[in-house]
Amino acid sequence: MFQNIKEIWLTISLKRKIGSFAVMVILVMGLSVAFNIRIMDFSLGSFNVILDDNSRCHDFQEAMELEIKAFEVYVRDRTQENRDEYVLACVRSERCLRSLPFDYERIGEERYARTWNVKNGYEGYCMARDQLLEMDSGSEDFIPRLYEIYDMQSYIQTYARRLVQVTLKEGNATYQEKVPVFCQLPYLILLFSAVMMVVALCLTKLLSSTLIDPLVKLAHTSRKIARNDFSSKDITVENKDEMGELVSAFNKMKHATEGYINTLKENNEMAELLHKEELEKMEMEKRLDATRLEVLKSQINPHFLFNTLNMIACTAKLEDAKTTERMIASMSNLFRYNLKTSEQIVALDQELKVVEDYMYLQQMRFGSRIGYECRIDVDARQVMVPAFTLQPVVENAIIHGLSRKEQGGRVFLKVWKDGNSVIISVADTGLGMDEETLEELVTALKNSHTAKMGIGLGNIYQRIQTMYQNGGLRIYSKKGRGTVIQMTIPQEEI
């Protein structure tokens, strides 16, 4: 029979297993609670009967004493207040009398006789008491009848005391009879609790063997697989439910994973080689960017240097040394900034100083043909920009835009804030470009064709794209109207 039950248990679903376990646990708990309630009812019920009987007898005795006192007061002084207290005492006595146990089979012969004496005596007493109160206190029979009432009250009190004594005696005897049973109750409760615990342990073991043990085996094998160890044997269970299907699927997955891991190892070796080549390529691109920056820093227009030095020599002959000193100082600043600045990001005011020195030299060269205006709407000391950004753009404006124009022109530099970014605009009134040339230049910027766009502007474009996610460089130009180079430099804090 046990084998049949085990077979049925192994074939039912996990949901039904858990439901059956829950029902059995609830049944065990219910039996335990019902047993404890029954024990408590047995214990407390016996005590309650004894205490209730004693309390009722004592209540009648106390009510009778209060009635006698109220009667004496009312007989001496028949005021309305005394009458109210007397009536209330009589009502209480009658209520307590009616509540006395008067079931022969339950209270026994002696208590029944004592109770009958009290009830019968009280009825005769009530009739005599009421007749006395209706008599005139000055009547000759009043005093003898009054003493008869007192005697009847004394008899009733005596009956009540005897009833209390008999009730206490029988209650004590009943308690003594049940004391041995009460002494056995803790052992009985302990025995029943032990039985329930054994049943609960058996149910738990049954559930554990069909649910927890397979999960433990799966977890153990999974940890070995996580360490890339597939040497463990396939898991075997007796379950024919969802757990059995899970174990079977797990064994298949283990074999499939082992084959997949071996394939991955081979692919991983190939991927490592490709990754190594990618890292080398990235390192080369970094070096190329650094080289471009160094090329830009070292780029100096020989024609510009020659004309400038010519101008310095002529000026030194024709005028005072102050202008020559200023030109030499500006030239020195340009050389110093190009050769000694190693940071990739500098404050905007450093770039502006370089542009001012460069424009001073150009204005000394071209005279009134070249004009320069600058408007800065941000704190140049707080704004950070890529190094060597402004001077190459201004130089392009002069070389390609203004120097080829007979009447010259002007360069406008403007910086303003737009949200979390700074916009730098360099505009000139030079020759400009037609749409086809402008489109070729923009395409060359995007495709990094330095041959078509020049090292300076292309380097600036590439550095802005690399250093800032939302940065950018735009070119606007019109033939005969001029060109505008606009750079967007994001700022973390402005």
pLDDT in tens, 81-93: 988 998 999 999 9
Asked if pLDDT for residue 203 goes beyond 80, the answer is no
- Residues 117-145: what's their mean pLDDT? 85
* Residue 478 structure tokens: 């019109």
* Residue 477 structure tokens: 């130009």
pLDDT at res. 134: 84
Cβ neighbours around 479 below 10 Å, total: 13
Asked if pLDDT for residue 302 goes beyond 50, the answer is no
Please tell me what DSSP assigns to residue 235: P
pLDDT at res. 247: 72
Looking at this protein, which amino acid is placed at residue 394? Answer: V
Cβ neighbours around 258 below 10 Å, total: 13
Asked if pLDDT for residue 489 goes beyond 90, the answer is yes
* Residue 91 structure tokens: 């009502």
pLDDT at res. 274: 82
Per residue in 188-202, pLDDT tens?
777 877 887 887 777
* Residue 237 structure tokens: 């269970």
pLDDT at res. 92: 92
How many residues would you count in the chain? 494
pLDDT at res. 490: 93
**What's the chain's average pLDDT?**
80
pLDDT at res. 264: 77
* Residue 493 structure tokens: 């804090």
Whole-angstrom Cα distance, residue 174 to residue 52?
14
Helix or strand holding residue 384 (H, E):
strand 384-386
Give the rounded percent of residues in the chain with a pLDDT score beyond 70: 80
Per residue in 151-169, pLDDT tens?
988 988 898 888 888 888 8
pLDDT at res. 39: 67
Asked if pLDDT for residue 353 goes beyond 80, the answer is yes
Q: Which of the four pLDDT bands, split at 50, 70 and 90, describes residue 411? A: very high
* Residue 416 structure tokens: 């303003």
Please tell me what DSSP assigns to residue 137: T
pLDDT at res. 478: 92
- Residues 401-426: what's their mean pLDDT? 90
Lowest mean pLDDT among 47-56, 255-264, 358-367, 440-449: 255-264
Q: Which of the four pLDDT bands, split at 50, 70 and 90, describes residue 259? A: confident
Q: Which of the four pLDDT bands, split at 50, 70 and 90, describes residue 483? A: very high
pLDDT at res. 43: 59
Parallel/antiparallel/unpaired status of strands 421-428 and 472-478: unpaired
Compute the Cα dihedral for 17, 19, 25, 28 and give only its sign.
negative
Asked if pLDDT for residue 25 goes beyond 80, the answer is no
Give pairs for 149-155: CB < 8 Å, separation 24+. Answer: 149/71, 149/125, 152/121, 152/124, 152/125, 152/128, 153/64, 153/68, 153/71, 153/125, 155/121
pLDDT at res. 494: 42
Q: Degrees (nearest 5) of the Cα angle 425, 428, 431?
A: 140
Asked if pLDDT for residue 320 goes beyond 80, the answer is no
pLDDT at res. 55: 87
Q: Are 401 and 485 spatial neighbours (Cβ–Cβ below 8 Å)? A: no
User: The whole model's pTM is what?
Assistant: 0.41
Asked if pLDDT for residue 290 goes beyond 90, the answer is no
pLDDT at res. 28: 75
Whole-angstrom Cα distance, residue 247 to residue 355?
76
Order of all β-strands in the sheet with 409-418? 370-376, 409-418, 421-428, 482-490, 472-478
Helix or strand holding residue 485 (H, E):
strand 482-490
Strand partners, 428: 411, 483
pLDDT at res. 185: 66
Select from 389, 337, 327, 383 the least CA-distant residue to 359: 327
Helix or strand holding residue 29 (H, E):
helix 14-76
Lowest mean pLDDT among 186-200, 240-254, 275-289, 306-320: 306-320
pLDDT at res. 340: 59
Whole-angstrom Cα distance, residue 415 to residue 395?
18
Compute the Cα dihedral for 142, 146, 147, 148 and give only its sign.
positive
Give the rounded percent of residues in the chain with a pLDDT score beyond 90: 16
Q: Read out DSSP for 277-289?
A: HHHHHHHHHHHHH
- Residues 373-383: what's their mean pLDDT? 92
Q: Are 456 and 396 spatial neighbours (Cβ–Cβ below 8 Å)? A: yes
pLDDT at res. 390: 92
Strand partners, 417: 422
pLDDT at res. 415: 95
How far from 426 is each of 105, 250, 252, 363, 406, CA to CA, in Å?
121, 69, 69, 17, 21
Contacts of 453 (CB under 8 A, 6+ apart): 441, 444, 445, 461
Cβ neighbours around 428 below 10 Å, total: 27
- Residues 302-310: what's their mean pLDDT? 55
